[in-house]
DNA sequence: TGGCGTGTTTTTTC
DNA sequence: TGAAAAAACACGCC
């Protein structure tokens, strides 16, 4: 389940491996993953290079060297993986696309659920969701004041719903939302309008600290996340509530509980996170 | 075996 | 108009 730290780790792991290599072939095995740009458009990438890899929220942004403003955008959703191979390897189940480079290496897109999407465009505004993203917690401009401004017109919305809303804050998914709420000592169902200034400040601080710590650990491998080198993350060793049903709270020892919030499994400590 | 769970965005409804 | 709810996606799992 790639959230911001995992997507950032993929970006970093691929940067030194695939940039400035001539693209020899582009194959799309499952056209359904193409949200914008058809197979012919991908074939047109042959002969060019990936010049830069950026990231915005959970979107990976590959900039082509030519035409200079062409962007290949990838969203991994739940189970998408971009895997680099030094040498060609036989196709695996759920391999949906492959870029082959002139030096014999390749970049393969594998996605069990096939929920991930590709966009190929010269206009970032055409990438659904990309333009409406909120600030990321690690942006310099992000602050408790920004968070409070974003949520002030939705006093009845549950705090976890707001944390998962990418137009409010970009980058959190189910794992980090639960971890942020635990660290801030806030119950996931609390309506935004009931949060005190102090709680909002703790939430903003927790978003920054937890994402930063997870990036340093190369993300969380809960089920099947790996980076571009097929390496697992390390932050699962630091999770305090996510997927810890009936295990003791690291603060108080009470058993972690699970409830559904907006249809999503939510783990919390009933003693440290009061409703 | 046929629902259920899964994460995120999009679409629909309120 | 904005927010909440439902739908869509595709597969593994039990």
pLDDT in tens, A76-100: 988 899 999 999 999 998 999 999 9
Do the bridges between strand A34-36 and strand A117-121 make them parallel or antiparallel, or are there none, so unpaired?
A: parallel
Entry pTM: 0.95
Q: What is the CATH number of the domain that holds A242?
A: 1.10.8.50
Span of A59-73, A89-103, A215-229 with lowest mean pLDDT: A215-229
Name the percent of chain A lying above pLDDT 70.
100
Please tell me whether any atom of strand B lies within 7 Å of the Cβ of A58. Answer: yes
Pair A96, A165 in one domain: no
Number of domains in chain A: 2
* Alpha carbons A189 and A156: distance in angstroms, whole number: 10
Catalytic residue among A11, A58, A202, A218: A58
- Separation in Å: C2 C1' and A207 CA: 26
Please tell me whether any atom of strand C lies within 7 Å of the Cβ of A92. Answer: no
Please tell me whether any atom of strand B lies within 7 Å of the Cβ of A134. Answer: no
Residue A222's pLDDT is: 73
| Residue at A274 is within a domain | no
Please tell me whether any atom of strand C lies within 7 Å of the Cβ of A32. Answer: yes
Residue A68's pLDDT is: 83
- Tell me, yes or no, if A264 is annotated catalytic: yes
- Does pLDDT of A200 surpass 90? yes
Please tell me whether any atom of strand C lies within 7 Å of the Cβ of A157. Answer: yes
A175 touches A5 (CB < 8 A): no
Residue A1's pLDDT is: 75
| Residue at A131 is within a domain | no
Task: Band the pLDDT of A123: cuts 50, 70, 90.
Answer: confident
| Residue at A136 is within a domain | no
Residue A113's pLDDT is: 87
| Residue at A40 is within a domain | yes
Task: Band the pLDDT of A67: cuts 50, 70, 90.
Answer: confident
Q: What is the CATH number of the domain that holds A48?
A: 3.20.190.10
Give me the mean pLDDT over the A192-220 stretch.
92
Nucleotide nearest to A175 (CA to C1'): B7
- Does pLDDT of A180 surpass 80? yes
| Residue at A133 is within a domain | no
Task: Band the pLDDT of A131: cuts 50, 70, 90.
Answer: confident
- Tell me, yes or no, if A58 is annotated catalytic: yes
A131 touches A48 (CB < 8 A): no
- Does pLDDT of A275 surpass 90? no
Residue A17's pLDDT is: 94
Pair A67, A149 in one domain: no
Catalytic residue among A2, A5, A137, A188: A2
Pair A154, A233 in one domain: yes
- Does pLDDT of A167 surpass 80? yes
Q: Domain containing A223: what range?
A: 144-268
Pair A40, A105 in one domain: yes
Pair A108, A149 in one domain: no
Q: Residue A256 gets which letter from DSSP?
A: P
| Residue at A171 is within a domain | yes
* Alpha carbons A164 and A249: distance in angstroms, whole number: 23
CB atoms within 10 A of CB A183: 20
Longest dimension (CA), chain A: 59
Please tell me whether any atom of strand C lies within 7 Å of the Cβ of A115. Answer: yes
Name the percent of chain A lying above pLDDT 90.
58
Catalytic residue among A12, A199, A264, A270: A264
Nucleotide nearest to A167 (CA to C1'): B9
- Separation in Å: B3 C1' and A260 CA: 19
Mean of all residue pLDDT scores within chain A: 90
- Does pLDDT of A58 surpass 80? yes
Helix, strand or coil, per DSSP, at residue A244 = coil
Please tell me whether any atom of strand B lies within 7 Å of the Cβ of A29. Answer: no
Pair A226, A115 in one domain: no
* Alpha carbons A92 and A175: distance in angstroms, whole number: 28
């Amino acid at each position: 389940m790639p959230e911001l730290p995992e997507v950032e780790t993929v970006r970093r792991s691929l940067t030194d491996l695939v940039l400035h290599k001539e693209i020899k072939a582009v194959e799309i095995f499952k056209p359904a993953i193409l949200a914008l740009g058809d197979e012919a458009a991908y074939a047109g990438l042959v002969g060019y290079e990936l010049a830069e890899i950026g990231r915005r929220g959970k979107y990976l942004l590959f900039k082509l060297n030519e035409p200079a403003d062409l962007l290949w955008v990838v969203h991994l959703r739940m189970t998408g993986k971009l895997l680099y191979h030094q040498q060609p390897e036989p196709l695996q189940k759920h391999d949906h696309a492959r870029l082959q480079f002139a030096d014999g290496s390749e970049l393969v897109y594998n996605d069990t659920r096939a929920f991930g999407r590709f966009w190929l465009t010269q206009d970032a505004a055409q990438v659904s969701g990309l333009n409406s993203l909120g600030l990321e917690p690690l942006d310099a401009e992000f602050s408790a004041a920004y968070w409070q401004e974003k949520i002030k017109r939705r006093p009845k919305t549950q705090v976890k719903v707001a944390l998962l809303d990418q137009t409010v804050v970009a980058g959190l998914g189910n794992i980090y939302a639960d971890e942020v709420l635990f660290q801030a000592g806030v119950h996931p169902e609390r309506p935004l309008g009931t949060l005190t200034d102090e709680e909002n400040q703790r939430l903003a601080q927790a978003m920054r600290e937890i994402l930063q710590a997870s990036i340093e650990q190369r993300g969380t491998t809960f089920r099947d996340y790996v980076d571009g080198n097929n390496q697992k993350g390390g932050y699962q060793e630091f999770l305090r509530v996510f997927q810890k049903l009936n295990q003791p709270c690291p603060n108080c020892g009470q058993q972690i509980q699970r409830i559904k919030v907006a249809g999503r499994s939510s783990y919390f400590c009933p003693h440290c996170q009061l409703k």
